[in-house]
Amino acid sequence: MTRVLPVVEALAERAPSLTIFTRFIPPVRAEDMPGRWQAYYAKWREVTREKVDPSLIELMPSLKRFVPPAAVLDKMVYSAFADGALAARLEADRVNTLIVTGSETDVCVLASVLGAVDRGYRVIVVRDAVCSSSDESHDALLELYHRRFAVQIEVADAEEIIRRWTPV
């Protein structure tokens, strides 16, 4: 995260009013979630809101300066599209392209990118603005995007995006 945070900041700074940060918010207790999420949080109780330091689920301090005009949407599952709020906002704003940054490449980013693909968005994953706790999974996902989803998912470096991007 230390490596990609300055890149995420540079992209958000380019167009803060077009930026939407999503935060993964765990439940208070494992029992507050449905199905297999209960088993997940039973195993990882220390990350439930009952146990975790609240500052760890806040937007990173260096990103807070963009809010507002940037927006923050909270989610309790991996995909930013699961509850419909993000899709509704993007539709209302007539968005057709998403520039995706964040962590983890192989968890929340993956779920959200596939959700965006399912909805027909042009998806650009910023190679140097995504990260994971597993370098192997991170690299495998970037390769998968290139090999399997090349028509639906583009991967580009932030410098190239900033050079070509003219915010509306």
Q: What is the pLDDT of residues 139-155, one digit of tens each?
A: 999 999 999 999 999 99
132: nearest Cα among 98, 108, 161, 158: 108
Give the span between the Cα atoms of 125 and 76, in whole angstroms: 22
Mean pLDDT of the chain: 95
> In this predicted structure, what is the pLDDT of residue 168?
67
Whole-structure pTM over 0.85, yes or no? yes
Segment 3-20 shows an average pLDDT of: 96
Handedness of CA 77, 132, 69, 93 (dihedral sign): negative
Number of H helices, E strands in the chain: 7, 5
* CATH code, domain carrying 128: 3.40.50.850
Residue type, 75: K
pLDDT in tens, 30-60: 999 999 999 999 999 999 999 999 999 999 9
> In this predicted structure, what is the pLDDT of residue 165?
87
If one counts the domains in the chain, the total is: 1
* Tokens (6 digits) for 139: 């690299």
Residue range(s) defining the domain that contains residue 133: 5-164
Segment 14-37 shows an average pLDDT of: 96
